[in-house]
């Protein structure tokens, strides 16, 4: 061979290799893009006819609802309720305010929640069972609730308008704009326990939000969901849902109003968007933090479903649960969970067959498989350790605030991408170094054994999540075949590269949306990168394409890209763009006529008016819980405190009974009464209803060193107050300490304007003692 020919040949090989890289990178980019598509909300159509869902009209409602924070027991709460009521009336719906209260016994105390549910009905022309549309109108304290749950309420109002603008549907629509969700689902509970319409409901659709961006996820269903998931996919153009998310959510302690119905066996679906959740329950859950495309993706499926289900007979439903997930955002793949075992068995046998075949072809060895299995496990450990270290280094730039940033999509996406590149670089290097002990076919097959085990475990314990392992594993096995069955495995033709690249697409389509959803839902961290590491096992065969002598260059390029992205983040993503949450509390002690101003953190702003640098209990010497704060004495504001009056007193065989009236002098979020006595409370009644129901003789106050204590808290105490009847085991004076809570720092206390980068949540407490 002449030197010239050798040179020519080398050039040709280089060009071919260049082409191979281009093909691979092209497919990976396209696959990643298509995968990411499932994580972004769709575009809003240009023209919206009157019978369709309009975000523009929806926004008018959100603007009205999210002016101010509107938790239970505030003026704003009432204003929001009046607005929704007015809108429903204008739509011509029959409506009522379900005024009631629900109660809950807690350790040594009792809580009462005053509830004002908005309940309405849109009659259909041939009703079988009704569809319940549900969202809550109370917000978390300090949060204007534009997304949580202003968007949900507004979407229902817009859905009702659009339904009325279109041709009439058969089934009735029941609307529940619930109260006191943020305090523990009390509105939905009261509706479920007391409202006669509950028995007429066929399907429940609930709307929620945890963040302010991202796609709308159908993340929870009732039992026997297969039929409903099918109808959802048929009705809504961009139906996005995931049986794995549903299964994971079931294992989490989180609840929404939907839980009340789900627990009682109702059919239904729960929807929410969850990205950019630094707004969740925060003062920045406001009009500036709304995403139109997200709102469209949130609201329009509800209209589509209401219309679709509205024309179905909802009297009975077929049994059976579904496994479901999305590819390309609009395509939902649904199959019965009965198929899970068949698919698992099929893919499992295929894998075992592949190993036998590889062994037969002398491409696999037992020792190599063991080394591949063990080695890949170690790689993940090394990968996580390295990524955690880099994550800590990034943390040096932001300090303890780093955690908060993970809720911000811009912040998270940049670092997630950078770290993912680094993880790939680490893996490719480890594979190359390790190939001395185990060949790439051994290593790939050994690593996929982890997936085989995972598939078995998940199919048994979380059948709804099995798809996430079964289908990527199937395509990885096909890629493995390509490597095990080709005679000269080390020399790659363009056709082989093309085939391998093509096989990567389904894996990316299924895995990328999940990686995104889970790093958002459960926050970024070591676990997310553990998943990424295990995901990379699927791509080990692809590392064969990188020739041994090129490995360092390949690793270098990938690591360089990762580092550039991280450096970009370090230089452009700043702390000051992120508002910081602080809490300011005012406490008026009406007994001593003392005012206290307290803050949770000392920052640039609060250190202007709080000089104290030692943290102390907020309600020192009072029987109420309050976190430790920096506090200082200030002027006593003129706020009237809640009143307690003795209506009647009696004694019977040594026991003493007091009938008391607790009356507010202003609207309060919470009114608590701590009853301190030498002998325990044995009987108690609130507004004529016995507290502690069936165990009448049970002592309901808890013992401590000075005697006994019983606490009653009323959320949203009504103007007319509440009557409390208490029977004590013995005679002796009774001390009643009252605490009421609102959210406004009194006008007398002049605070400087907080800077824009500080969010403030404020609380005001007034305490007063009574002795009878
Ligand atoms: Zn909510």
Mean pLDDT of 349-374: 91
pLDDT at position 500: 85
DSSP code for 146: I
pLDDT at position 108: 62
Mean pLDDT of 719-747: 89
**Element at 605 (helix H, strand E):** none
Tell me the CA–centroid distance for residue 599 and ligand 1, in Å.
27
pLDDT at position 623: 83
Tell me the CA–centroid distance for residue 307 and ligand 1, in Å.
24
Q: What tokens were used for 272?
A: 């929410």
Tell me the CA–centroid distance for residue 358 and ligand 1, in Å.
54
Distance, CA of 466 to CA of 477 (rounded, Å): 16
Residues ≥6 apart with Cβ < 8 Å to 127: 170, 171, 172
Tell me the CA–centroid distance for residue 429 and ligand 1, in Å.
46
Could you read off the pLDDT of 39-59 as tens digits, one per residue?
889 999 989 999 999 999 999
Tell me the CA–centroid distance for residue 181 and ligand 1, in Å.
7
Distance, CA of 59 to CA of 43 (rounded, Å): 17
Tell me the CA–centroid distance for residue 370 and ligand 1, in Å.
50
Residue with the two structure tokens 């609207």: 667
Q: Are strands 734-742 and 702-704 parallel, antiparallel or unpaired?
A: unpaired
Residue 706 pLDDT > 90: no
Tell me the CA–centroid distance for residue 431 and ligand 1, in Å.
46
Residue 526 confidence class, pLDDT cut points 50, 70, 90 = low
On whether the CB atoms of residues 197 and 175 are closer than 8 A, the answer is no
Residue 6 confidence class, pLDDT cut points 50, 70, 90 = low
Tell me the CA–centroid distance for residue 127 and ligand 1, in Å.
30
Q: What tokens were used for 248?
A: 């994971």
Q: What tokens were used for 172?
A: 């009735």
On whether the CB atoms of residues 724 and 673 are closer than 8 A, the answer is yes
Q: Are strands 758-771 and 580-589 parallel, antiparallel or unpaired?
A: parallel
Q: Kindly give the residue spans of alpha helices, DSSP state H, lying in 203-275.
A: 226-235, 243-250, 257-262
Q: Any idea of the CA torsion for 288, 301, 69, 195, to the nearest 10 degrees?
A: 170
Q: Are strands 201-209 and 758-771 parallel, antiparallel or unpaired?
A: unpaired
**Total residue count of the chain as it appears in this document:** 772
Nearest to 499 by CA among 516, 481, 474: 481
Tell me the CA–centroid distance for residue 138 and ligand 1, in Å.
8
Tell me the CA–centroid distance for residue 369 and ligand 1, in Å.
50
Q: Quote the distance between the C-alpha of residue 331 and its chain's center.
A: 23
Tell me the CA–centroid distance for residue 109 and ligand 1, in Å.
26
Tell me the CA–centroid distance for residue 209 and ligand 1, in Å.
6
Tell me the CA–centroid distance for residue 140 and ligand 1, in Å.
8
Reported in sequence order, the residue ranges of 664-695 that DSSP labels E, i.e. its strands, are 670-677, 681-686, 689-690
Distance, CA of 550 to CA of 206 (rounded, Å): 54
Q: How many helices (H) and strands (E) does the chain have?
A: 18, 23
Lowest mean pLDDT segment, chosen from 254-268, 327-341, 680-694: 680-694
Q: What tokens were used for 618?
A: 């907020």
Higher pLDDT residue, 432 or 100? Answer: 100
On whether the CB atoms of residues 260 and 185 are closer than 8 A, the answer is yes
Question: What does each C-alpha distance from 256 to 208, 271, 283, 537 come to in angstroms?
Answer: 8, 10, 21, 37
Tell me the CA–centroid distance for residue 208 and ligand 1, in Å.
5
Lowest mean pLDDT segment, chosen from 23-27, 149-153, 516-520: 516-520
Residue 1 confidence class, pLDDT cut points 50, 70, 90 = very low
Tell me the CA–centroid distance for residue 387 and ligand 1, in Å.
34
Lowest mean pLDDT segment, chosen from 286-290, 385-389, 484-488: 484-488
Q: How many CB atoms lie within 10 A of CB 76?
A: 18
Tell me the CA–centroid distance for residue 205 and ligand 1, in Å.
14
Residue 12 confidence class, pLDDT cut points 50, 70, 90 = low
Tell me the CA–centroid distance for residue 586 and ligand 1, in Å.
27
Tell me the CA–centroid distance for residue 148 and ligand 1, in Å.
5
Could you read off the pLDDT of 570-620 as tens digits, one per residue?
888 775 456 788 899 999 998 888 898 888 888 888 888 888 778 888 888
Residue 4 confidence class, pLDDT cut points 50, 70, 90 = low
Higher pLDDT residue, 609 or 467? Answer: 467
Q: Any idea of the CA torsion for 166, 168, 169, 174, to the nearest 10 degrees?
A: 90
Residue with the two structure tokens 């969010």: 759
Residue with the two structure tokens 């239970």: 72
- Starting at the edge strand found earlier in the chain, the sheet holding 643-652 runs 643-652, 655-663, 722-728, 681-686, 689-690
Lowest mean pLDDT segment, chosen from 61-65, 204-208, 444-448: 444-448
First to last CA, the chain: 112
Mean pLDDT of 252-265: 88
Tell me the CA–centroid distance for residue 306 and ligand 1, in Å.
21
Q: What angle do CA 524, 527, 530 make, to 5 degrees?
A: 120
Tell me the CA–centroid distance for residue 656 and ligand 1, in Å.
44
On whether the CB atoms of residues 175 and 156 are closer than 8 A, the answer is yes
DSSP code for 329: T
Distance, CA of 345 to CA of 363 (rounded, Å): 24
Q: Which residues pair with 652 in a beta bridge?
A: 655
Tell me the CA–centroid distance for residue 466 and ligand 1, in Å.
30
Tell me the CA–centroid distance for residue 344 and ligand 1, in Å.
37
Mean pLDDT of 539-553: 76
Could you read off the pLDDT of 157-181 as tens digits, one per residue?
999 999 999 999 999 999 999 999 9
State the chain's mean pLDDT as an integer.
Answer: 87
pLDDT at position 406: 67
Residue 548 pLDDT > 90: no
Residues ≥6 apart with Cβ < 8 Å to 549: none
pLDDT at position 405: 63
Tell me the CA–centroid distance for residue 182 and ligand 1, in Å.
6
Tell me the CA–centroid distance for residue 280 and ligand 1, in Å.
9
Tell me the CA–centroid distance for residue 267 and ligand 1, in Å.
20
Tell me the CA–centroid distance for residue 150 and ligand 1, in Å.
9
Distance, CA of 156 to CA of 95 (rounded, Å): 15
Distance, CA of 147 to CA of 272 (rounded, Å): 10
Could you read off the pLDDT of 127-167 as tens digits, one per residue?
999 999 999 999 999 899 999 999 999 999 999 999 999 99
Tell me the CA–centroid distance for residue 763 and ligand 1, in Å.
21
Nearest to 225 by CA among 198, 193, 203: 203
Distance, CA of 759 to CA of 755 (rounded, Å): 8
Mean pLDDT of 62-66: 96
Q: What tokens were used for 73?
A: 């027991």
Residue with the two structure tokens 């009574």: 770
SS3 675: strand
Tell me the CA–centroid distance for residue 117 and ligand 1, in Å.
15
On whether the CB atoms of residues 702 and 604 are closer than 8 A, the answer is no
Tell me the CA–centroid distance for residue 256 and ligand 1, in Å.
7
Tell me the CA–centroid distance for residue 296 and ligand 1, in Å.
18
Tell me the CA–centroid distance for residue 136 and ligand 1, in Å.
7
Question: What does each C-alpha distance from 206 to 62, 149, 224, 270, 274 come to in angstroms?
Answer: 17, 11, 17, 5, 15
Tell me the CA–centroid distance for residue 219 and ligand 1, in Å.
14
Tell me the CA–centroid distance for residue 668 and ligand 1, in Å.
21
Tell me the CA–centroid distance for residue 768 and ligand 1, in Å.
33
Tell me the CA–centroid distance for residue 135 and ligand 1, in Å.
8
pLDDT at position 13: 65
Residue with the two structure tokens 């179905």: 312
Higher pLDDT residue, 6 or 520? Answer: 520
Tell me the CA–centroid distance for residue 413 and ligand 1, in Å.
25
Could you read off the pLDDT of 655-687 as tens digits, one per residue?
899 999 999 998 999 999 998 888 888 888 888
Nearest to 217 by CA among 460, 38, 393: 38
Q: Quote the distance between the C-alpha of residue 432 and its chain's center.
A: 40
Nearest to 591 by CA among 737, 708, 711: 737
Distance, CA of 252 to CA of 273 (rounded, Å): 17
Distance, CA of 625 to CA of 620 (rounded, Å): 9
Residues ≥6 apart with Cβ < 8 Å to 461: none
Distance, CA of 281 to CA of 213 (rounded, Å): 14
Distance, CA of 372 to CA of 441 (rounded, Å): 9
Tell me the CA–centroid distance for residue 42 and ligand 1, in Å.
23
Tell me the CA–centroid distance for residue 185 and ligand 1, in Å.
9
Tell me the CA–centroid distance for residue 460 and ligand 1, in Å.
33
C-alpha atoms less than 13 angstroms from C-alpha of 577 in its C-beta half-sphere? 9
**Element at 456 (helix H, strand E):** helix 440-461
DSSP code for 511: H
Distance, CA of 672 to CA of 711 (rounded, Å): 7
Higher pLDDT residue, 213 or 12? Answer: 213
Tell me the CA–centroid distance for residue 285 and ligand 1, in Å.
11
Lowest mean pLDDT segment, chosen from 217-231, 483-497, 562-576, 727-741: 483-497
Tell me the CA–centroid distance for residue 152 and ligand 1, in Å.
9
Mean pLDDT of 195-201: 94
DSSP code for 713: E
Tell me the CA–centroid distance for residue 241 and ligand 1, in Å.
19
Q: What tokens were used for 307?
A: 């219309």
Tell me the CA–centroid distance for residue 654 and ligand 1, in Å.
49
């Amino acid at each position: 061979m002449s030197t010239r020919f050798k040179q020519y040949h080398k050039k040709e090989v280089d060009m071919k290799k260049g082409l191979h890289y281009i093909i691979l990178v092209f497919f990976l980019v396209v696959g990643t893009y298509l995968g990411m598509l499932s994580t972004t909300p769709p575009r809003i159509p240009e023209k919206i006819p009157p019978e369709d869902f309009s975000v523009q009209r929806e926004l008018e409602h959100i603007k009205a609802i999210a002016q101010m924070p509107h938790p239970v027991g505030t003026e704003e709460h009432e204003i929001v309720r009046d607005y929704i009521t007015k809108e429903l009336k204008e739509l011509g719906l029959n409506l009522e305010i379900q005024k009631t209260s629900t109660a809950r016994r807690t350790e040594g105390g009792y809580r009462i929640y005053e509830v004002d549910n908005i309940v309405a009905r849109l009659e259909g022309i041939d009703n079988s069972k009704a569809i319940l549309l549900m969202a809550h109108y109370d917000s978390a304290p300090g949060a204007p609730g534009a997304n949580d749950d202003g968007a949900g309420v507004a979407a229902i109002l817009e859905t009702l308008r659009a339904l009325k603008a279109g041709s009439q549907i058969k089934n009735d629509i029941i609307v529940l704009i619930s109260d006191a969700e943020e305090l523990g689902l009390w509105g939905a509970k009261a509706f479920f326990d007391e409202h006669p319409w509950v028995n007429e409901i066929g399907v429940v659709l609930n709307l929620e939000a945890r963040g302010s961006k991202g796609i709308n996820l159908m993340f929870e269903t009732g039992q026997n969901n297969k039929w409903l998931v099918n109808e959802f996919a048929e009705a809504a153009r961009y139906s996005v849902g995931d049986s794995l998310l549903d299964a994971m959510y079931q294992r989490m302690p989180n609840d929404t109003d939907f839980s009340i119905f789900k627990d009682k066996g109702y059919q239904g679906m729960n929807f929410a968007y969850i990205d950019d959740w630094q707004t969740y329950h925060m003062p920045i859950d406001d009009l500036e933090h709304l995403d139109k495309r997200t709102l469209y993706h949130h609201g329009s499926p509800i209209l589509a479903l209401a219309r679709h289900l509205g024309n179905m007979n909802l009297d009975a439903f077929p049994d059976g649960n579904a496994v479901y997930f999305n590819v390309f955002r609009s395509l939902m793949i649904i199959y019965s969970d009965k198929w899970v075992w068949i698919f698992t068995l099929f893919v499992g046998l295929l894998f075992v067959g592949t190993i036998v075949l590889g062994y037969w072809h002398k491409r696999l060895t037992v020792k190599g498989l063991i080394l591949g299995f063990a080695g890949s496990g170690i790689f993940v450990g090394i990968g996580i350790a390295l990524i955690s270290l880099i994550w800590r280094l990034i943390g040096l730039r932001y300090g303890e605030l780093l955690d908060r940033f993970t809720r911000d999509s811009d912040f998270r996406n940049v670092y997630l991408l950078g770290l993912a590149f680094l993880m790939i670089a680490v893996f490719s290097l480890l594979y190359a170094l390790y190939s001395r002990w185990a060949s790439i076919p051994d290593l790939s097959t050994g690593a996929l054994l982890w997936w085989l085990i995972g598939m078995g475990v998940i199919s048994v314990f979380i059948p709804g999540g099995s798809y996430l392992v079964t289908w990527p594993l199937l395509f990885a096995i096909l890629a493995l075949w390509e490597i095990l069955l080709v005679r000269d495995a080390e020399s790659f033709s363009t056709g082989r590269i093309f085939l391998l690249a093509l096989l990567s697409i389904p894996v990316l389509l299924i895995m990328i949306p999940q990686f995104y959803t889970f790093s958002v839902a459960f926050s970024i961290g070591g676990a997310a990168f553990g998943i990424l590491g295990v995901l990379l096992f699927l791509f080990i065969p692809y590392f064969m394409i990188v020739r041994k002598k090129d490995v360092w260059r390949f690793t270098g390029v990938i690591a360089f890209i990762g580092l550039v992205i991280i450096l970009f983040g370090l230089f452009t993503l700043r702390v000051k763009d992120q508002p910081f949450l602080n809490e300011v509390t005012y406490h008026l002690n009406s007994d001593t006529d003392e005012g206290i101003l307290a803050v949770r953190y000392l920052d640039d702003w609060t250190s202007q008016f709080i000089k104290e640098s030692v943290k102390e209990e907020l309600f020192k010497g009072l029987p109420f819980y309050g976190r430790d704060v920096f506090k200082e004495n200030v002027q006593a504001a003129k706020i009237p405190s809640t009143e307690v009056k003795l209506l009647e007193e009696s004694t019977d065989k040594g026991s003493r009974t007091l009938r008391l009236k607790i009356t507010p002098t202003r609207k309060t979020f919470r009114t608590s009464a701590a009853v301190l006595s030498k002998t325990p409370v044995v009987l108690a009644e609130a507004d004529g209803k016995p507290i502690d129901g069936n165990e009448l003789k049970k002592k309901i106050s808890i013992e401590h060193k000075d005697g006994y204590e019983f606490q009653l808290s009323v959320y949203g105490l009504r103007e007319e107050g509440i009557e409390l009847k208490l029977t004590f085991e013995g005679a002796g004076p009774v001390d009643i300490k009252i605490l009421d809570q609102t959210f406004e720092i009194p006008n007398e206390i002049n605070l400087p304007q907080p800077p824009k980068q500080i969010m403030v949540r404020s609380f005001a407490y007034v305490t007063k003692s009574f002795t009878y």
